Amino acid sequence: MTDKIPFDLVSPERLLLSEEAEMVTIPGSEGEMGVMAGHMPLISTLKPGVIDVKGGPNGHERFFVSGGFAEITPFKLTVLAEEALPLAALDAAALELRIVDAQEDVALAKGDLEMARATEALDHLKQLRAAL
């Protein structure tokens, strides 16, 4: 039997997932990492991407994160995400509307800071679309 690692996925709004999994793949800022029980201790920032949870009680689960931090110990993985969404719950049509709105925000931006924020939001939405 494979050892499992406890995994918590937390967003600012709520705890999205708390379960044991055989392996969790996270989008680390230096590249994707597979985390299993016994992993070396590590703290990493996360880039926008997909967290892939395998071998949990609910089967295979996937979540999009817009960024955040991961704390890994040999005994637990905790992800503190800026934003996290279950991929299974996403509506492609609603996502396309959000992308159109974000493109309008970029076009209407007044100033460098507003432009940077709007562009970052649009990039995250496009990465989310690509993850579907």
- In CATH terms, the fold of domain 5-87 is ATP Synthase; domain 1 (2.60.15)
Residue 84 pairs in a beta bridge with: 65
> Going along 5-98, which residue ranges are E strands?
5-10, 15-21, 23-28, 31-35, 42-46, 49-56, 59-65, 68-73, 76-81, 84-86
How far is Cα 39 from Cα 124, in angstroms, rounded to an integer?
Answer: 29
How far is Cα 55 from Cα 83, in angstroms, rounded to an integer?
Answer: 23
pLDDT tens digits, 60-117: 999 989 889 999 999 999 999 998 989 888 888 888 898 999 899 999 999 999 999 8
* Dihedral sign, Cα of residue 114, residue 116, residue 119, residue 124: negative
The domain ranges of the chain are: 5-87, 91-131
pLDDT tens digits, 10-46: 999 999 999 999 999 999 989 999 999 999 999 999 9
Q: How many CA atoms lie within 13 A of 131 on its CB side?
A: 26
- The pTM of this model reads 0.80
Q: Are 105 and 125 in contact (CB under 8 A)?
A: no
- What's residue 128's pLDDT? 80
* Dihedral sign, Cα of residue 92, residue 14, residue 79, residue 18: negative
